């Protein structure tokens, strides 16, 4: 299996989502050293709130680097308070 050359940044709520994403990305051929995870510090705040607050800054950072290096941004949020369909209704069509 060929290794992916892109660096991937994952913004997620908690360690469980990080482990799931890490496993998935390894199965897709990403090397562990090419993965960076931004996870909510334990006991500081709601994971959903952390992702929502950090999303704009991560997108700005992604956009500033995307033309210079091969980079991907993945954002993971679960449907704690809403159904999956309700979550998808607030996501722009091109972002799925």
Domain boundaries, the chain: 7-95
* Contact predicate 74/19, CB 8 Å: no
| Total-model pTM | 0.74
Please say if the pLDDT value at position 86 is more than 90. no
Q: What is the pLDDT of residue 93?
A: 55
Average pLDDT, the chain: 83
CA distance 11 to 52: 10
Q: Which two tokens stand for residue 4?
A: 């992916």
Mean pLDDT score, 31-43? 88
């Amino acid at each position: 299996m060929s290794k992916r050359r892109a660096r991937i940044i994952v913004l997620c709520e908690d360690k469980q989502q990080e482990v799931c994403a890490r496993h998935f990305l390894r199965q897709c051929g990403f090397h562990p050293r090419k993965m960076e995870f931004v996870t909510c510090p334990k006991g500081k705040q709601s994971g959903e709130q952390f992702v929502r607050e950090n999303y704009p800054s991560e997108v700005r950072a992604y956009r500033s680097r995307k033309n210079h290096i091969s980079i991907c941004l993945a954002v993971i949020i679960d449907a704690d308070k809403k159904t999956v369909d309700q979550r998808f209704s607030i996501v722009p069509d091109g972002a799925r």
